[in-house]
Amino acid sequence: MKSKKVIFAVGASGGHIFPALATAQVLKSRGVDSVFILGGEKFSEKITQEGFSVYMVKALPWNGKGKLAKLQALFALGFAVIKSMLFILKVRPAAVCGTGGYASVAPVLAGKLLFIKTYIHEQNVVPGMATRLLSRFVRTVCTTFDQTEKYLPKARGKILVTGSPVRRDVLAFFEKEHVRANDPVTVLVTGGSLGAHFLSESVPAALMGLSESLKKKLYVSHQARPEDVSAVVAAYKSHGISAEVLPFFDDMKERISGAHLVIARPGTSTVLEISLAGRAAIYIPHEVADGHQVINGEVVVDAGAGILLRQNDLEGTDLLQKTIQNLIENADERQRLEQGAKAFSQALGAERFADCILG
């Protein structure tokens, strides 16, 4: 590897940025520096705190409605490719790597046009639009799950299953044994980095239906959207359930490790952290158009690492209440899910992705 630099092009969500950051940490330990190209400033401070430089290239989503929006996105993509090419010529990296999101498209295409080695990593079972587009151009497509291959027919023969890159601090934390107190029974509710309105409505309603003796045994940590916090706090308080409700938890690892039960959206990073901790979980996927969270959840269930409940099946039913009650009362069932989660966890994704990049 002649150059000692790698460029990571990432989208604006934590699910795109943290796998890139995890891999950059591994590369740094091997003497290779990384530079990040972002489409927005969210998480840029986190990246610079880790010692990596950031370059901004504005991008627009191309799935906007109307011909004008698509035309604007196309012009923005062209401009972003040119700007990325100029930056790549300045940095002269050995590779350009994308980890998803529309902001990753232009830099990876620019790298391809400049005959730089290009790689992408897809975290979900169902690849996003950026991965589907770039998969036909890049040298290697790395994936978390082997099931992803069937969704990328244009990339047959160049798919490498690495697992999902997980940051070293996360791995180190979950490698330690975390002892939970038997009482109270701690339930963690999280809908991802922005919370989830459906969980803020359905979970308190389900817990309200539990017996008074069970409610007294509970302690709930609930991550909710800022606009939902006051309503969720009032719901728990009115039924005597001890709870802490915040829009963001900056100690999520600790809360996962201390939970007896996690209720969450099955985003890939969430699933992997819960699995690394070996915690029982109920996954309620967001019913987005491509259904990637549903399929993530199905893969987890097939591995015996969690329970999947569809959002549409919960409305107007007591299914969620019964499922929660069973897991609170049945320690053997929780233990079965904990063992399945631990077996499902992946710890070497960042190392394997780094190996691929370094050739």
Helical spans, DSSP H, in the chain: 14-29, 44-49, 67-91, 105-113, 129-134, 168-175, 197-208, 212-216, 229-238, 252-257, 268-277, 292-302, 311-314, 319-329, 331-344, 349-358
Q: Is the pLDDT of residue 35 over 60?
A: yes
Range scoring the smallest mean pLDDT among 77-86, 189-198, 249-258 = 189-198
Q: Is the pLDDT of residue 289 over 60?
A: no
Q: Is the pLDDT of residue 37 over 90?
A: yes
At 150 the three-state DSSP class reads helix
Q: Cα–Cα distance between 346 and 338 in angstroms, integer?
A: 14
Q: Are 188 and 169 in contact (CB under 8 A)?
A: no
- Looking at CATH, the fold of the domain delimited by 172-344 is given as Rossmann fold (3.40.50)
Q: What is the pLDDT of residue 194?
A: 58
What would the pLDDT profile of 105-138 be if each residue is shown by its tens digit?
999 999 999 999 999 999 989 998 999 999 999 9
Q: Determine the pLDDT at residue 143.
A: 95
Segment holding 95, helix H or strand E: strand 95-98
CA distance 236 to 220: 9
The predicted pLDDT at position 191 comes to 86
Instruction: Check whether 290 has a pLDDT greater than 70.
Output: no
The structure tokens listed for 218 are 């509970």
**Could you give the residue range(s) of every CATH 3.40.50.2000 domain in the chain?**
5-165, 172-344
229, 165 in Cβ contact below 8 A?
Answer: no
Tens-place pLDDT, residues 85-94: 999 999 999 9
pLDDT at 15: 80
Closest C-alpha among 144, 153, 59 to residue 108: 59
What pLDDT digit, counting tens, does each position of 212-249 carry?
A: 999 999 999 999 999 999 999 999 999 999 999 999 89
Q: Is the per-residue pLDDT at 287 higher than 90?
A: no
**pLDDT band with cut points at 50, 70 and 90 for residue 2:** low
Ranked by mean pLDDT, which of 58-67, 192-201, 275-284, 337-346 comes out on top? Answer: 275-284
pLDDT at 174: 87
Task: Please tell me the least confidently modeled range out of 143-157, 166-180, 261-275.
Answer: 166-180
Amino acid 104: pLDDT:
95
Q: 185 - beta bridge partners?
A: 218
In whole angstroms, what is the distance from residue 192 CA to residue 296 CA?
14
Q: Can you give the pLDDT at residue 67?
A: 79
Predicted local confidence at residue 10, as pLDDT: 93
Torsion of CA 186, 190, 195, 201, to 10 degrees: -60
Position 28 pLDDT exceeds 80: yes
Q: What is the pLDDT of residues 173-211, one digit of tens each?
A: 988 877 787 789 999 999 875 568 999 999 999 999 999
Residue 258 or 175, more confident: 258
Cβ burial, residue 359 (10 Å; 0-12/13-18/19+): exposed
Which of 47-51, 67-71, 138-142, 171-175 has maximum average pLDDT? 138-142
Average pLDDT over residues 314-320: 90
What's the chain's average pLDDT? 91
Higher-scoring residue by pLDDT: 70, 155: 155
CA gap 13, 193 in Å, rounded: 9
Residue 193 pLDDT: 58
Q: What pLDDT score does 65 carry?
A: 66
**Which residues face 117 on adjacent strands?**
95
CA distance linking residue 227 with residue 235, whole number of Å: 14
Q: Is residue 61 reached through a cis peptide bond, with omega within 30 degrees of 0 on the bond before it?
A: no
Instruction: Give the domain 5-165 fold.
Output: Rossmann fold (3.40.50)
Here the tokens at position 202 are 């359905």
Percentage of residues in the chain with pLDDT exceeding 70?
96
